[in-house]
């Protein structure tokens, strides 16, 4: 907490184009912190900002990242909250990921040091809970985005392998990852089956472990799925595949739109000129509901 508060004052000492390391260190002797921070405290704050990539040190020059330029316009309490979110997001603490899909924080599962820090930043327990849930979901979305491309490549490879095994090398060349060109189609990969029929595959990559799969579905994807009989969701999971903990992505099954339709949110009925329409939904599907193989197998 002290380090994050000191970081706030450090941002006041770094110019828009940066400062020399020597000038920055000298300026710490004159920062009006009201006696809350000494030079060593401010150096610790600088170190935190550097670790987070918000300060860039190069050839004796310390420059602020553009994100820091935006953050330093915040008042001190809001700055500390924003910095804490960045700390948690970059460290990817496992306890935080556990709350990504929930609406409640089980504080007994939060490490004591993290709980004490959160309590110091957020005196209001409701705001504290909201912060944890919001940060957990942001981290979850970011992690899924990281592995999304890998999942799509795994599905492309699986479709080509399937067609080659059926002696249809001519069709294997027509498997394509369309998300590279347009991510608004409602599907990521297009592949023919052995009869030459075209399938539209929405790929969901996951790191979910256990007996369930979590993924996000957009309203656009659901709309396409409801109206396109050739549309399907293909699930690819990142799993440990080697003795040294190597990770690999593999296809573990697929779903039709109608397999999940009953679990989708429902728009509210207009009342008093108020209406709610869902845009994205987080889906949780038991492994047992996945259809094996690829949609190319279906009749």
Identify the CA nearest to 203 among candidates 148, 281, 264. 148
Residue 34 binned pLDDT confidence (cut-offs 50, 70, 90): confident
| 6 phi, psi to nearest 5 deg | -65, -35
Predicted confidence (pLDDT) per residue in 68-80, tens digit = 888 888 998 999 9
Average pLDDT over residues 237-266: 88
Tokens of 170: 């001519």
d(CA 62, CA 13): 11
Structure tokens at 110: 């939060």
**pLDDT digits over 101-155, tens only?**
778 888 988 889 889 999 999 999 999 999 998 988 888 777 777 889 999 999 9
Report how far residue 62's alpha carbon sits from residue 25's, in angstroms, rounded to the nearest whole number: 11
Query: Does residue 18 contact residue 69 with C-beta atoms inside 8 Å?
Result: no
């Amino acid at each position: 907490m002290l380090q994050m508060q000191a970081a706030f004052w450090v941002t006041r000492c770094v110019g828009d184009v940066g400062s020399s390391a020597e000038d920055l260190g000298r300026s710490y002797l004159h920062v009006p912190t009201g006696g809350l921070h000494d030079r060593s405290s401010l150096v610790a704050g600088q170190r935190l900002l550097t670790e987070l990539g918000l300060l860039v040190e190069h050839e004796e020059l310390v420059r602020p990242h553009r994100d820091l330029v935006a953050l330093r316009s915040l008042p001190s309490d809001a700055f500390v909250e924003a910095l804490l979110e960045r700390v948690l997001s970059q460290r990817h603490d496992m306890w935080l990921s556990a709350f990504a899909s929930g609406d409640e924080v089980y504080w007994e599962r939060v490490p004591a040091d993290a709980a004490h820090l959160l309590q110091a930043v957020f005196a209001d327990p409701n705001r504290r809970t909201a912060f944890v849930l919001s940060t957990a979901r942001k981290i979850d979305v970011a992690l899924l985005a990281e592995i999304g491309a890998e999942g799509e490549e795994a599905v492309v490879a699986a479709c080509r392998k399937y067609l080659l095994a059926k002696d249809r090398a001519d069709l294997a060349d027509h498997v394509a990852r369309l998300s590279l060109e347009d991510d608004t189609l409602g599907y990521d990969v297009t592949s023919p089956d052995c009869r030459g029929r075209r399938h539209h595959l929405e790929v969901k990559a996951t790191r979910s472990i256990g007996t369930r799969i979590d993924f996000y579905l957009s309203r656009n994807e659901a709309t396409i799925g409801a109206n396109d009989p050739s549309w399907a969701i293909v699930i690819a999971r990142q799993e440990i595949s080697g003795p040294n903990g190597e990770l690999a992505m593999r296809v573990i099954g697929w779903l039709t739109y109608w397999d999940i339709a009953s679990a989708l949110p429902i728009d509210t009925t207009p009342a008093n000129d108020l209406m709610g329409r869902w845009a994205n939904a987080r889906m949780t599907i038991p492994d047992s509901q996945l259809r094996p193989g690829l949609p190319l197998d279906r009749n």
